[in-house]
Amino acid sequence: MSNQEPEITGCRATVGDAPLDAEQAVELAGVFKALGDPVRLRLLSMIASREGGEVCVCELTPAFDLAQPTISHHLKLLRQAGLVDCERRGTWVYYWALPATLERLTGFLRASVNA
């Protein structure tokens, strides 16, 4: 087994591996824009830190002094940014974080700090 790290190519490359191209910059800007709101940042934190990996919207809404449709709008923006996904089960919707996007974001931030 070699001590060299495997070459990273294609979609598996993290954002911090090389300077961003235009497409990557647009994609990453969308993620940061989604996280630029304190409510969405808290929602992502609540979802990502949840033991078992998913949380019902019915458990998220009481944590905020906002109407349920407003919370749903914020969750929709997190979904559009690729940070979370969801599934309807009966009358409730369950959310979970998408590890690939979180890992790319972490890689970019880590590379930025180490630069």
Mean pLDDT by 10 residues, the chain (115 residues): 34 57 88 95 95 92 95 96 95 94 84 70
Q: Which helix (H) or strand (E) holds 99?
A: helix 99-114
Number of H helices, E strands in the chain: 5, 3
Question: What is the distance between the alpha carbons of residues 93 and 63, in angstroms, rounded to a whole number?
Answer: 16
The model carries a pTM of: 0.78
* Position 115 in a domain: no
Looking at residue 9, what is its pLDDT? 35
CATH number of the domain where residue 100 is located: 1.10.10.10
CA distance readout (Å), 64 to 37, 52, 53: 13, 22, 21
Contact criterion met (CB below 8 Å) for 71 and 57:
yes
> 14 in a domain, yes or no?
no
pLDDT at residue 102, rounded to an integer: 86
- CA 114/CA 108 separation, integer angstroms: 10
Order of strands across the sheet that contains 92-97: 55-56, 92-97, 84-89
Q: How many domains does the chain have?
A: 1
The amino acid sitting at 100 is: A
For the chain, the farthest-separated pair of C-alpha atoms sits apart, in whole angstroms, at 56
Domain extent for 87: 22-107
Token match 């019915």: residue? 58
Q: Map residue 66 onto helix, strand or coil.
A: coil
Evaluate whether residue 17 is within a structural domain. no
